[in-house]
Structure 1
Amino acid sequence: MTRTAVVICPGRGTYNKTELGYLHRHHAGRMDMFREFDAIRAETRQEPVTALDGASRFSVGKYSRGDVASPLIYSASLADAQALANDIEVVAVTGNSMGWYIALAVAGAVSPENGFRVVNTMGTLMQEQLIGGQLVYPFTDVDWVNDPARKSALLGQVTEINAREGHTLALSIDLGGMLVLAGNEEGLKVFEAENPVVQDRFPLRLANHAAFHTHLQTPVAAQGRAQLGIDLFTQPDRPLIDGRGKIWWPGASDIKELWDYTLGHQVTETYDFSRAIQTAAREFAPDLFIVTGPSTTLGGAVAQSLTLANWQGMDSKVAFLSAQTANPCLISMGRDDQRGLVVK
């Protein structure tokens, strides 16, 4: 019996110490593809992906860099998507932030090699420029109960800080019950100073993260467009859901518009991951939401996005966990206890 699934690809921050060796552990049979990626890295004298994944030790300073993290995450996530069991029918693909580039490859809108060129180029450009930074702050409580007034107040505060002389702050990613904010150092510092620490760790700065999905990335978008041509793109084989909740349909997508979105709006404007997940749920009603590896951290944002939409009556963490226990609908391939449910 066929199981329908929406595949969800993760973004930055998902290849950490526990993920070191992910490619070698889970995808030894796909080394030929990874060596193709190594050859692309060699064109610009960058360290091979296989060597990075096969290293004996992990350091945050190195592995959180955009030119290191991005190609590793891409390789792991794409390989996971290729490893899905034969009874799984992928009805749509989406991703979070950088995960959009991976989603393009999973959906067939770029080849694996061209998708790698896109993600490696953009990760390198963002690391070279490293304009601004990011932090994470929740608007829901630990039970994931929706609080629209709290969210509105926080976004109002962001707008107010952004209006101050010399301060830049904006919503980077709408991420389930979390707001990922991005801006310059002045804007980020003011937000941190004016908001209390909650859940023992927020506001949380993200190491080696630039001000993604804001106008500060306009120079990076321009460089990306100059280096990555429309010829890298093609019609997707599967429906793609972008960071606005727009669906790109196979055989009916304007390739120039897809290229323009990927290296334009997607880089410089807010990425609404919550809306992408909610669109996936409402338009495709899959049996499963499958989050590819390497990490497990995106699963919470997917679950929160579903509860915020009251998907199948789930309106809180307790309700979600109850439904998940009875009949799992969210599978994180980075979790050993769940991976076996969906791989060949």
Structure 2
Amino acid sequence: MSRSDSMVNGASERERLLIVCPGRGTYNAAEWGTLNRLAGGSEWLTRFDAMRREADLPTLSELDGEIPFRQSLQGRGEHASPLIYACAWADLLSIDRERYDIVAVTGNSMGWYIALAAAGALGPDETLHLIGTMGWLMQESLAGGQVLYPWVDDAWRPDWALRKELLALIEQIHGIAGAELYLSIELGGMLVFGGNETGLSRLTERLPARERFPLRLHQHAAFHTPLQEGVKREARRRLGAGPFRAPEVPMIDGRGHIWTPWSTDPQALWDYTLGEQLVEPYDFTAAVKVGVREFAPDRIVIPGPGATLGGATAQALIQLGWQGWSDKAAFQSGQQQEPRLLCMGIAEQRDRLLPAQAASALG
């Protein structure tokens, strides 16, 4: 339905949503059970489970319900990634499309694969196959790792001098005595570094201790760095370009580039997804900023599971000055008055996006 079609009998126009899909690390013990609660018994989850069973893997329903949560199991790439996708897919399907218009889609890291499904560039089953394959390849190689460190202060105000110092550490450490260190993800007010064990060890020694940082990300390889060249080669061999198609709504990738329904070359989309996206830094911050500037959303929505991506997204929006937000306090005050950033992993925020009857039934 077009924007003009949404004006019926004087009713207000549908609100414009920018969808921001979550990446690895968002399904943890607290999220165990989410999928069955939201989608248990659904036709599509039954289909996903059948695909997993055919691949001789535990089903998503089993991992989310019958099998008690263990980080060593559910946190593995071939399980964690499909679980996150399925939870996000359940949330995306629940959005009331009579009241909300999805105008663009982006994601963080693995969230780019979810964005392909959300935008219609891949079918849901094809996306499960892609995500499951990539999760398995990453887990099997587990080349390097990732370390997370903030460059904003405690009030989420940018410290540009600190950012410059942190990026300089890459040049100071990389290439010295076997150390490999790269920028992996620009994540709002944080930097994610990727590297081999030597590089990450030396980085950790140089980073000032700050609350829980530097934080080593559990069971994460050095995503978006040259250490994934082997994964890239194998992924391109296994995953043909056939299922890719032009998206139905615009997508914003990890460079801030927009893939539109009217100009996307499916072969180029495949090439980016299984090429540059795997071995070059992923600029989540740029993707969010482009989404806000180019598509003027009324609200930004992060599907579940969990809500851990909310902070990084808010930090990116603070850098942009969106809604007049200048720091964490301004963001929190604005959210209390009228929430513009909605995390569907938070029940009351999710309910705002559901059809009225569905929200009342869940309540």
Normalised to the residue count of structure 1, the TM-score between the two structures is 0.97
1:128 aligns with 2:108: no
What residue is the counterpart of 1:278 in the other structure? 289
- Residue 281 and residue 29 in structure 1: after superposition, are their counterparts in 2 closer, same or farther (change >3 A)? farther
Of residues 107, 110, 132 in structure 1, which corresponds to 2:122?
Answer: 110
1:261 aligns with 2:277: no
Q: Name the CA distance, whole Å, in 1 between partners of 2:185 and 2:92.
A: 23
Q: Name the CA distance, whole Å, in 2 between partners of 1:37 and 1:26.
A: 15
1:39 aligns with 2:31: no
Q: Name the CA distance, whole Å, in 2 between partners of 1:20 and 1:112.
A: 22
Q: Name the CA distance, whole Å, in 1 between partners of 2:72 and 2:63.
A: 13
**5+ long unaligned stretches in structure 2:** 1-11, 356-363
1:72 aligns with 2:72: no
Q: Name the CA distance, whole Å, in 1 between partners of 2:169 and 2:225.
A: 17
What residue is the counterpart of 1:250 in the other structure? 261
CA contact (8 A) 1:162 1:170 kept: yes
Of residues 318, 322, 334 in structure 2, which corresponds to 1:311?
Answer: 322
CA contact (8 A) 1:15 1:295 kept: yes
Q: Within 5 Å, give how 1:1-344 maps onto structure 2.
A: 1=12, 2-28=14-40, 30=42, 32-86=43-97, 87-198=99-210, 200-344=211-355
Report % sequence identity. 47
Q: Name the CA distance, whole Å, in 1 between partners of 2:352 and 2:150.
A: 31
CA contact (8 A) 2:319 2:326 kept: yes
> What SS is found at the alignment partner of 2:334?
helix
Q: CA deviation at 1:324?
A: 1.6
Q: Name the CA distance, whole Å, in 1 between partners of 2:282 and 2:183.
A: 8
Q: Name the CA distance, whole Å, in 2 between partners of 1:47 and 1:224.
A: 22
Q: Name the CA distance, whole Å, in 1 between partners of 2:69 and 2:40.
A: 20
Equivalent residues, number: 342
Q: Name the CA distance, whole Å, in 2 between partners of 1:266 and 1:41.
A: 26
Q: Name the CA distance, whole Å, in 2 between partners of 1:97 and 1:156.
A: 23
Q: What is the alpha-carbon root mean square deviation over aligned residues?
A: 1.1
**5+ long unaligned stretches in structure 1:** none
CA contact (8 A) 2:149 2:190 kept: yes
Q: Name the CA distance, whole Å, in 2 between partners of 1:132 and 1:55.
A: 32
Q: Name the CA distance, whole Å, in 1 between partners of 2:35 and 2:142.
A: 27
1:219-260: per-residue Cα shift (whole Å, max 9, x none)?
101111111111110110010000000000012101111000
1:157-200: per-residue Cα shift (whole Å, max 9, x none)?
112111312001111110001111110000000111111211x1
1:260-312: per-residue Cα shift (whole Å, max 9, x none)?
00001111110000000000111111011000001110001110000012223
**Aligned partner of 1:337: which letter?**
E
Q: Name the CA distance, whole Å, in 2 between partners of 1:242 and 1:230.
A: 18
CA contact (8 A) 2:170 2:182 kept: yes
**Aligned partner of 1:221: which letter?**
K
CA contact (8 A) 1:21 1:55 kept: no
CA contact (8 A) 1:139 1:178 kept: yes
Q: Name the CA distance, whole Å, in 2 between partners of 1:278 and 1:264.
A: 23
**Aligned partner of 2:103: which letter?**
V
**Aligned partner of 1:151: which letter?**
R
**Aligned partner of 2:32: which letter?**
L
CA contact (8 A) 2:40 2:61 kept: no
CA contact (8 A) 2:39 2:45 kept: no
Q: Name the CA distance, whole Å, in 1 between partners of 2:39 and 2:227.
A: 37
Deviates more, 1:42-51 or 1:148-157: 42-51
